[in-house]
Structure 1
Amino acid sequence: MAKEFSATQVRAPYTRPMTAKDFEPSDTTSVWWLSGAGFLIQSHGTLLMIDPVISMQDGSDENCELGHRLLVPLPIEAADVPRLDAILYTHRDDDHLGPVTASALIRTGGLYAGPAIVVQELERLGVPSSQARAFRIGESFRIGEIEITLTRADHAYPSQNPYGPEDCCGFFIRTPDGTIWCTGDTRLLAEHMQMSGVDVLLLDVSDDPYHFGVENAVNLANRLEQAAIIPHHYGTYHGPEMLPFNGDPNRLAPHITRSENRYRILAPGERYVLKKTNDVQ
């Protein structure tokens, strides 16, 4: 599957605004795509965000905090998030660790968690050390009703300071209603293909060489043949020349087994409810 550029980027489905009601206690487990690579997960009242970048550039109604023009509106801004129990970061790239968002969410009281290099950056941004904790690959911790395990990621793209093996991660999340795996930005590793027991796969569909790429994303999705799949890392930021911003979930759909039953292309702010008997047959 050759990499493709287009003068017209694929846009995410139009945003469904989120409100404080989405943060109220619930007896279910739900997932919301926040656009970009960000997610909100609520499980039986426990709330966590993964890689949220949900603030606008000061004085702009078009550009997000990173300076990129948005292709679709944010479903909620960090200043309007009423509460969180945890904010998880897979790595410190700014399209995952938005500095304005990270600072704005301190007031929620949530625990900031991720690899050590991420926690160092969070503390530099003003997150109190008492509110941040570093974890190693393979380590697990609990937040309310949720157990979280860091999984390995390989996102060592060339730079002056390339990421090491402990600097990036994914999150395997166990809830009372099933499991969710956010792989983070990563090339496909042999251990990824050994994963099992995944009920919902948050799948990066970027075709950048330091991400899965389309072919490997399809391979992983088909290896986890019982998982519902929610694509992300596309349709959010203007940048037709930037591969990480130019995924297209529709390129994967024809190659994913039983995609009509388990491939869920969400709009930013759209809720997906995880059930123990999710129909992915």
Structure 2
Amino acid sequence: MTQGNGSQFIAPATKPITAEDFAGTDNTSIWWLSGAGFLINSRGTLIMIDPVLTMKPGSPDICEIGHRMLVPLPIVATEVPRLDTILYSHLDDDHLAPVTAPALIRTGGLFAGPVVVVRELANLGIPAEQYRSFRINETLRIGEVEISFTRVDHSWQNLDPEKYGPPYGPEDCYGFLIKTPDGTIWYTGDSRLLPEHLEMSGVDLLLLDISNDPYHFGIENAVKLANTLASADIIAHHYGTYDGSDVLAFNGNPDELASAIDGSESRFHVLAPGERYVLKG
């Protein structure tokens, strides 16, 4: 990991994700896609979370949502061979990317998200038979994997409702609790810390947003959650991807958390985009 302009930290050097990573397997593996995105291969069941995997046409370093990339993508949407489901936590374009989503129709995966997300997927041309909306605490079963939808608080539009519009409500965003044969993964989603987050248990891998934005956990609360889930391994994300040292949601310093997380030497993982992690439940 290196330091960019100002105080912005850059993720480790990208490692390509290949077609072999989508093949059948006897374990559950996770790859950070950069930003807030992940690929999970659980014994051949393939899940993507919030993928942003397309570059602006003709540009080597500007992604589809208009930001300069600090690191290359580990895979682009047109190279993804197959998916069983694509999970979207909310509408922000660094989670629901408007070019990547239609490009993934051909994978055959089920697109899943809150009602407002599914409406946008329909607008983007996703076929009706290929998307489905879910509510908080509902479950989706894909093969041997069970996905539950967990509560968040990400009403960032309250910064200026006249400029940004109505804030996200309690059913407009969520996280994902993903139970696999090899252990349980929790993708918390973009959120301020809620009391129920600190009541979560049975998590083997925490996909932890480490950005320092006031409508995200922030460093202090990310550490608090990590230390509450004291037996969980942790993968840091939501940092080191997009150029913008003045954008708090793009910034976070894994070193600041590592020094405060109990047992960080063995359980806090700063992956490169495209680097494989094998779940050990």
TM-score, reference length from structure 2 = 0.95
**Do the aligned partners of 2:240 and 2:250 also contact (CA within 8 Å) in 1?**
yes
Instruction: Specify the code of the residue in structure 2 equivalent to 1:198.
Output: V
Q: 2:30 maps to what in 1?
A: 31
CA–CA separation in structure 1 for the residues paired with 2:202 and 2:38: 20
Q: 1:238 maps to what in 2?
A: 243
Q: 1:279 maps to what in 2?
A: none
Q: 2:61 maps to what in 1?
A: 62
Could you tell me the percent identity over the aligned residues? 65
Q: 2:84 maps to what in 1?
A: 85
1:130 has 2:125 as partner: no
Q: How does 1:119-268 map to 2 (within 5 A)?
A: 119-157=118-156, 158=158, 159-268=164-273
- List runs of 5+ in structure 2 lacking aligned partners: 159-163
Deviations 1:186-240 (A, max 9, x none): 0000000000000000000000000000000000000000000000000000011
Deviations 1:251-276 (A, max 9, x none): 10000000001001100000000123
Q: 1:74 maps to what in 2?
A: 73
Q: 1:41 maps to what in 2?
A: 40
- List runs of 5+ in structure 1 lacking aligned partners: 277-281
Q: 1:104 maps to what in 2?
A: 103
SS of the aligned residue for 1:117 comes to helix
Deviations 1:108-134 (A, max 9, x none): 010000111110111100001110000
Instruction: Specify the code of the residue in structure 2 equivalent to 1:151.
Output: T
CA–CA separation in structure 1 for the residues paired with 2:7 and 2:218: 20
SS of the aligned residue for 2:235 comes to strand
**Deviation beyond 6 Å, 4+ runs, structure 1:** none
CA–CA separation in structure 2 for the residues paired with 1:150 and 1:273: 23
CA–CA separation in structure 2 for the residues paired with 1:63 and 1:41: 26
Deviations 1:68-90 (A, max 9, x none): 11000000000000000000000
Instruction: Specify the code of the residue in structure 2 equivalent to 1:201.
Output: L
1:6 Cα deviation after fit: 6.3
Q: 2:161 maps to what in 1?
A: none
1:8 Cα deviation after fit: 4.5
Instruction: Specify the code of the residue in structure 1 equivalent to 2:184.
Output: T
1:176 Cα deviation after fit: 0.2
CA–CA separation in structure 2 for the residues paired with 1:99 and 1:115: 16
Instruction: Specify the code of the residue in structure 1 equivalent to 2:233.
Output: A
SS of the aligned residue for 2:12 comes to coil
SS of the aligned residue for 1:255 comes to coil
TM-score, reference length from structure 1 = 0.95
CA–CA separation in structure 2 for the residues paired with 1:72 and 1:264: 18
- Total equivalences in the alignment: 272
